[in-house]
Amino acid sequence: MQVATRSFNSRLKNFRFISNLSVSEKLLRSGVLSIKDEVRRALQRNDPIVALESTIITHGLPYPDNVKCAMDVENEIRQKGAIPATISILDGVIKAGLEYEEMEYIGNVEKSSPVKTSRRDFPYVLSKNLNGGTTVSGTLIVADALGISVFATGGIGGVHREGETTFDISADLTELGKSQVAVVSSGVKSILDIPKTLEYLETQGVFVATYGTNQEFPAFYSRRSGSMAPYRVSNPNEAAKIILSSKIMNLHSGMLFAVPVPEEQAFDEEEIHKVIQEALEEAKKKEIRGKQITPYLLRKIWEMTQGKSLHTNIALIRNNARVAAEIAVQLKNLENGADSQIGRKDNPDGIVVIGGSNLDLCAKLQQDQIKLDGRMHPSKLSYVAGGVARNICEALTKMGSTPTFITAIGDDKAGELLTSMMPKQMKDKSHVLRGKNTAQCVIVLDSKGDCSHLLADFDIHNEITPEIIHKNEDIIRRAKLIVLDANISVESMGTILKYATEHKIPVFFEPTDVIVAAKPFETDFWKAVKIITPNINELYFIGSYLKILPSERECGSESIEDIARLAKKVASFVENVIVTLGTNGVLIARKASACDTFLTKPQNGNIEIRHYPAEIVKNVVNVSGAGDCLASGLILSTLRGLPEEKCVSVGFSAAKKALKSSTAVGDDMFVENLEDWEDCAKYYVVETEITELNKMPHT
């Protein structure tokens, strides 16, 4: 993989005009810094961010374990409600946040030949357009310039053993003394002199505390070092308060929060001490020193422990990432004031779902079809919780997210039953209305599980009024994504979209049904809608309302190519059009590639269309919630920063869970139970200007 960059001479020319700017602006305008869209949005919105170094990828772990570990660490951070920003250098450009392909490229060191980049190495690597893995000190410089306050790593460098004669002291320590960034690590690497390192950190004015129940400083592979830290903090809130206090004092020095390795992966301190001593003696005999000593020792320890040290290393890095994300979230809560905790502490993904909740009576026929002649039809009857917005919210909840759900329910028996079926965290913003009937729907399924007839009483959906929306303004305006179904009134939808426009919050719209599919476009703020998921009939209705498609058509006659033409026209209005095709999968039209996230700002160019066929699922139990679970998978993976092709993979996996469940949302939806979270769904590029579909699958 190659990254398009400007020549060094052109950067130098630009630099002459920007010498009075801040460091980050100077880097950006000169072309030396590139910020991933996900990270840029988080910086603009003051969302929690965790910086990550890249020498773990380039010099710490073997390929491909390094790339998998890096992706796992980023996902740990996203699941805690923060945004990861992996810092590295590609072709002489500092990258704040890596796409998967970039991480894969730099992780394959035989191809990328990365330079281990500390403070002293930046000028050389940038001027030569080289690739680089940033060390702790290198990452601190970039994080500090960008205003990222929290940084997670495995272990920092320190004073090497016999440092009093060799003067071998890591630049990590001096950089910590002058960068206003909090580092979360498992102490310093066990191969170093820990007591001398702690003394040196004190000299540099670095705040040091252990994190947890023990004040003994951890020793990377083991939980005990024999040295005591000056302080101890027990939770993210305590750590965040200390970081904020340092900012208020404007101390401009860093902090170290030392997190012991999880006990189940920790080494016995005596056992690992013997291994390290033997590795050090061998390195001394081979006269290995300088920047080569740490990679050599880590590799030697891996060999001597038969790979156990690698598993310990990965476990502590992931654990540190989780802790760092929790601290970053709490820090932003404190910085933004106590009221912001409503939207961030309980809803780290920042998803607000607004729409209908129904009590559904499902009747599954035991014969092929209904005869409308008054006869009785033997069926299996069951009450299930339903409603598009409610289903999406429940699926997100079962995936491990904690969305805020705004809906209206009656105070009748149906409402009591529906409320009892909801997960606890979905009830907080459910408005129970006196004297109103809870929305109910009778769903008749044929013997194959397909929906045959629907009977509904949805009047209460109109009670999700602008007044209710106004009451929840504080929560809505802090959302990272608003999810709407079409059950609410046009007036209420206009109020929500106005908030979304004012606060630059993207909106995900599920059209729900044909006759209400165009509701957002009846408001003045429809451009806030960035993603829509219509089926083919809803797509056609939207196109007709926008007057870009004919008002009449023969239903069911469209080929994939015909649908692509319709979707392409609608995509000139909405940035991301995701057409659900049932057993045929999904078709996506947008000005972006399959490698881009759905929230990537569209570039000036042609609308690209891709068809993702669905896997055939046997022994289907129920189809009623498959589309809503598909949407939930798309929503959560989008907010976790995954590209389109991975989002579709996650969405398909969630839909398969629903198809195998007797209820609309299955019980095994948690992220780790979803298959294909890391896979890319296969797609076909659809060329709308030719008569044949390109049949070459992309992976």
The residues carrying an active-site annotation are: 53, 189
On whether the CB atoms of residues 356 and 409 are closer than 8 A, the answer is no
Q: Rg of the Cα trace of the chain?
A: 28
Do the strands 132-134 and 150-152 form a parallel or antiparallel pair, or are they unpaired? unpaired
- Distance, in Å, from the CA atom of 136 to the CA atom of 85, rounded to the nearest integer, reads 14
Q: Is 595 helix (H, G, I), strand (E, B) or coil?
A: coil
- Helix residue ranges per DSSP H, 185-304: 194-203, 236-249, 269-285, 293-304
- Distance, in Å, from the CA atom of 314 to the CA atom of 321, rounded to the nearest integer, reads 11
- Distance, in Å, from the CA atom of 196 to the CA atom of 509, rounded to the nearest integer, reads 58
How many CB atoms are located within 10 Å of the residue 280 CB? 18
On whether the CB atoms of residues 232 and 210 are closer than 8 A, the answer is yes
Q: What are phi and psi of 672, to 5 degrees?
A: -70, -15
From first CA to last CA, the distance across the chain in angstroms is 16
CA distances from 33 to 24, 25, 95, 137, 603 (A): 8, 9, 6, 17, 20
- Distance, in Å, from the CA atom of 171 to the CA atom of 558, rounded to the nearest integer, reads 64
Q: What are phi and psi of 440, to 5 degrees?
A: -135, 150
- The string over 176-202, giving b where at least 16 C-beta atoms fall within 10 Å of a residue's C-beta and e elsewhere, is bbebbbbbbbbbbbbbbbbebbbebbe
Question: Can you read off the two tokens belonging to residue 621?
Answer: 């139990």
- The owner of tokens 């106590």 is 338
On whether the CB atoms of residues 418 and 664 are closer than 8 A, the answer is no
What's the 3-state SS for 330-395?
HHHHHHHCHHHHHHHCCCCCCEEEECCCEEEEEEEECCCCCCCCCCCCCEEEEEEEECHHHHHHHH
| Tally of CA atoms within 13 A in the half-sphere of 545 that contains its CB | 18
On whether the CB atoms of residues 484 and 389 are closer than 8 A, the answer is yes
CA 169, chain centre distance (Å) = 37
Do the strands 207-211 and 351-354 form a parallel or antiparallel pair, or are they unpaired? unpaired
Angle at the Cα of 652 from the Cα atoms of 362 and 357, rounded to 5 degrees: 35
- Distance, in Å, from the CA atom of 296 to the CA atom of 288, rounded to the nearest integer, reads 8
Do the strands 132-134 and 83-90 form a parallel or antiparallel pair, or are they unpaired? antiparallel
Using alpha carbons, select from 135, 151, 143, 154 the residue that is nearest to residue 59.
135
Q: Is 670 helix (H, G, I), strand (E, B) or coil?
A: coil
